[in-house]
Amino acid sequence: MRFFKLIVPVLLTALLIAPAATIAGEYNMVMSIGDPLPVFENTPTTDGGTLSSADLEESVVVLVSLANHCPWVRGMDAGLVELVEQFKGQDVRVVGFAVNHRDDDRLPAMKEHALMSGYNFTYMYDESQDLGRKLGATRTPEYFVFNADRKLVYMGLLTNSPARKTRSGEISFINGDPVAFHVANAIAATLAGEAVDPAETRAHGCTLEYE
Amino acid sequence: MKRIPCLIFTLCLLASGSIWAENTDGQSAANTSTELQPISFAQWDGILEKQLGKITVVDFWAAWCSPCIERFPHMVEMHHKYKDRGVRFISLNLDEQGDKESIDWANDFLERIKAVFPNYHMDENMTEAFERLDLLGLPAVRIYATDGTETHRLSGDNPYQQFTEKDVENAVQNLLIQ
């Protein structure tokens, strides 16, 4: 009897704690590795069209949260364009999305920024913020890589060294020249049918502004 | 998971029998200067330890963080409103180590808005700082009760649970009536 008096509260406590510890990723409070790509429909893009998740046919899909105003996005823009170029001709699709409602992050400003930065990928405006919320995206830039089954295989940083555009316009890498190319490695591993390692890193950047 | 480092930190403090005391030097410095004081990880732990006896509000921010800049004046307002009621406000700036341009801008900003409470700059690698402080993004606010227990962790880390300046003030008021 005494044993049960002791064990019941312990088990109840364990049951309460366990879901909190396993419900999401280490650095993401909504998504876990292996979760499905959230559905999105008819989301407007900077090229004047729309995009739905059902339109994505490639073996690997990369979603990345962006915000034009963010120095960490501006610092990483060249690296993102380079990433798309690196996998050109392969079965990979990169899609950027913005969610903020501030004027300098909305669709008209996105069109200007995409042009100015030479964006070579689809850039869409998730005005409802629904996709951003479902992804648990909270920082810009934050990368999400999905495999052919549309299961999440990687989320987090582009590389080990986030880059910021300074007030004077220079690009500053916080850990020097990047040496670990997390997203590129995740894409390559997924294309090769291999496991992604690391599957999650701590994204760094501006906080998304959910209304 | 994210509460474990905080718990360990708190337990270590209790286990070591640390006695938190009023930092009289820090207090007098706070009254006369808004300038960022560069600190290390070890110094930061020491600063937190010295706040025992006061409700302590820590604002994590950086010059590159627009929402941080927009919200900071509210911290200054709250400082004036609650400073004589046993509430201490501290800011911890997380601009890049050695980034003089940003730190100069931050010092101008703090002076302009008269942020006359202790303002520190984490003079460590930024990646390590976010890991060590268990931060995902900025702005973030943490509130500690008089016994040093972290009672509130406010951040934009969950898209379904964002915080406002009102949440910070409500948390302070709740601690004051306890």
CATH number, residue A128 = 3.40.30.10
Q: How far apart are CA A180 and CA B106, in angstroms?
A: 31
Q: Note whether A109 and A190 are within 8 A (CB).
A: no
Closest partner residue to A202 among B1, B136, B162, by Cβ? Answer: B136
Test mutation, B7, B60, B65, chain A, max A CBs within 10 A: B65
Question: Residue-wise over B110-141: b if at least 16 C-beta within 10 A, else e?
Answer: beeeebbbbbbbbbbebbebbeebbbbbbbbb
Q: Sign of torsion, CA B78 B154 B71 A175?
A: positive
Query: Is the omega angle on the peptide bond into residue B139 within 30 degrees of 0, that is, cis?
Result: yes
Q: How many domains does chain A have?
A: 1
Contacts of B150 (CB under 8 A, 6+ apart): B6, B10, B142, B143, B144
In a domain, A6, yes or no: no
> Does A206 contact B137 at a Cβ distance shorter than 8 Å?
yes
CATH no. for B4-177: 3.40.30.10
Q: Which range marks the domain in which residue A185 is found?
A: 25-207
Residue by residue, pLDDT tens for chain A (211 residues) are 444 444 444 444 444 444 333 356 899 999 999 999 999 999 999 999 999 999 999 999 999 999 999 999 999 999 999 999 999 999 999 999 999 999 999 999 999 999 999 999 999 999 999 999 999 999 999 999 999 999 999 999 999 999 999 999 999 999 999 999 999 999 999 999 999 999 999 999 999 999 9
Q: How far is CA A75 from the centre of its chain?
A: 16
In a domain, A66, yes or no: yes
Note whether ipTM > 0.90 here.
no
> Does B102 contact A166 at a Cβ distance shorter than 8 Å?
yes
In a domain, A10, yes or no: no
Note the pLDDT tens digit of each residue in B92-134. 999 999 999 999 999 999 999 999 999 999 999 999 999 999 9
Q: How far apart are CA A38 and CA A51, in angstroms?
A: 13
Longest distance between any two alpha carbons in chain A, whole Å: 73
Query: Which of these, A31, A54, A51, lies nearest to A154 by C-alpha position?
Result: A31
In a domain, A15, yes or no: no
Counting Cα atoms < 13 Å in the Cβ hemisphere of A109 gives 15
Q: How far apart are CA B170 and CA B152, in angstroms?
A: 11
